[in-house]
Amino acid sequence: MASINQEIAFLELADPHSKEGVPAHSSTRSRRRWRIRWWRGAVLFLAGLYFLLPLFAGLKFALENIAGKFSFQALQNLPSSPGFSGAFWLSFRLALVTVVISSFLMIPTAIYVHLKLPRMRRAMDVVTVLPIVIPPIILILGVEGSAPLSLKSSPYLLSLLYVILAMPFVYRSLDAGLSAIDLKTLTEASRSLGGSWFRTMRSVILPNLRASLLSATVLTLALVFGEYTMASLDNWTTIPVWIVQFNDATDGHIQVAASMMGLVGTWVLLTALIFTFDRSQSKRAQRKTGLL
C-alpha cells in the first residue's frame, strides 16, 4: 500500500493537469502573458502618441482663425485660394492615370509570376524594392536627361515615374492577395470549363483580389497626392508643390488645412472603399445563402 500511495503521489506531481501543478504553471504563464501584454500596450500607446499628436496639432491649427479661435475659415477659403483648383485637378488626373497604368502592368505580372514562375518570386521581391532604395531625385534627373521633348512637356511623365514609386506597394498588396487564394486550382477549373484567360482573370481572379486592389489603390493615391520632389523638379504645380509655394503671410492656416485635407481625405476614401467592399461581400453571401 505504501508503494502504491507513493506512485500515486509521484503521478500527481508529474501530471501537468494535477490540482497542485495547475496553479503554479497557470500563475507563471499569466504573469508572463501580463508582462508581454503590458509591454505591447506601452509600445502601442507611445506609437499612438507619436502619430496622433502631430495630427491633432495640425487639425487644431487648421480649424483656427487668425485670432486663435475655432473656425472653418481656412477650409472655406481653401477652394478660392489662387492656384488651388488647378493643382488639385492636376494631382487628381495624375493619380487616376497612375492607378490605371499600375493596375494594367502589375496585375498580369503578379498573376503570371505566381502561376508560371513561382521561383522568381524572391527575385521580384528584390526588384520591386529598388524604387524605395533609389532616391526620387535620381529618377527624375535621369528621366529628364533622356526623355523625348514631347514627353518632357507633358505632366503625365510624372505618372510614369509614380508608377515606379508605387510598384513596391502595389506588387506586395497583390502578392499577399494571390498568396491567400489557391490560384492554380481556380485557374485550372476555369480553363477546364472553357473560360478564356481574359474571362478567368475578370470573373475568377480579380473578384478574389478586391481587398488587395483596394489597398494598392489607396496607397497609390496617397503617394501621388503626397509626392513633392519629382513634381517640383519637373516644374508642375501639384498639391504638395502648391502647399510649399503658397505664400500668404496674413493666414498660414490655409496651407495646413490643405495638408490635413489630403491626409483626412485619404482616410475617408479608404474607409469608404472598405465599407463598400464589405457591403458587397455581405450581399453576395446573402445571395448565395438564398440560392442554397
How far is residue 219's CA from residue 106's CA, in Å, rounded to a whole number?
Answer: 14
pTM, two decimal places: 0.75
Q: What is the pLDDT along the chain (292 residues), one digit of tens a residue?
A: 545 455 444 444 444 444 444 454 555 555 555 555 777 888 888 988 888 888 888 888 888 877 778 888 887 888 888 888 898 899 999 999 999 999 999 999 999 999 888 888 888 888 888 888 888 888 888 888 787 877 888 889 999 999 999 999 999 999 998 988 888 888 888 888 888 888 888 888 888 888 888 888 888 988 998 889 899 988 899 988 988 887 655 567 787 888 887 777 777 777 776 677 666 666 666 665 655 5
Nearest Cα to 146, choosing from 160, 132, 167? 160
- Looking at residue 14, what is its pLDDT? 47
Rounded to 5 degrees, what are φ and ψ at 152? -65, -35
The Cβ-side half-sphere exposure at 242, using a 13 Å CA radius, reads 25
- Looking at residue 100, what is its pLDDT? 94
